[in-house]
Amino acid sequence: MSTAAALVDALFSRKGEKSAPPPAPPKPLVGHTSRPLNGAERASILLLALGEQHGTEIWKLLDDEEIRTLSLTMSGLGTIDSGAVEKLLVDFVGQMSATGALMGDSGATERLLSQFLPPERVAVIMEEIRGPAGRNMWEKLSNVQEEVLANYLKNEYPQTIAVVLSKIRPEHAARVLGILPDDLALDVINRLLRMEAIQKDVLERVEQTLRTEFMSNLSQTSRRDAHELIAEIFNYLDRQTETRFLTSLEESNRESAERIKTLMFTFDDLVKLDSAAAQTLLRNVDRSKIALALKGSSETVREFFTSNMSSRAGKLLAEEMESMGPVRLRDVDEAQTMMVNLAKDLAAKGEIVIAKGHRADDELVY
**What is the distance between the alpha carbons of residues 204 and 159, in angstroms, rounded to a whole number?**
15
| Contact call for residues 290 and 316 (beta carbons, < 8 A) | no
Domains within the chain, CATH numbers bracketed: 4-103 (no CATH), 136-221 (1.10.220.30), 265-362 (1.10.220.30)
pLDDT at residue 288 is higher than 80 = yes
Query: In the prediction, which pLDDT does 333 show?
Result: 84
Query: In the prediction, which pLDDT does 82 show?
Result: 77
| Contact call for residues 227 and 261 (beta carbons, < 8 A) | no
- Residue 278 — pLDDT band, cuts 50, 70, 90? very high
**What is the distance between the alpha carbons of residues 22 and 26, in angstroms, rounded to a whole number?**
7
Indicate yes or no: pTM above 0.75. Answer: no
pLDDT in tens, 147-161: 888 888 888 888 889
**Residue 340 host element (H or E):** helix 329-348
pLDDT at residue 79 is higher than 90 = no
Nearest to 339 by CA among 275, 276, 291: 291
Query: In the prediction, which pLDDT does 365 show?
Result: 42
pLDDT in tens, 110-139: 776 676 677 767 666 665 555 444 446 777
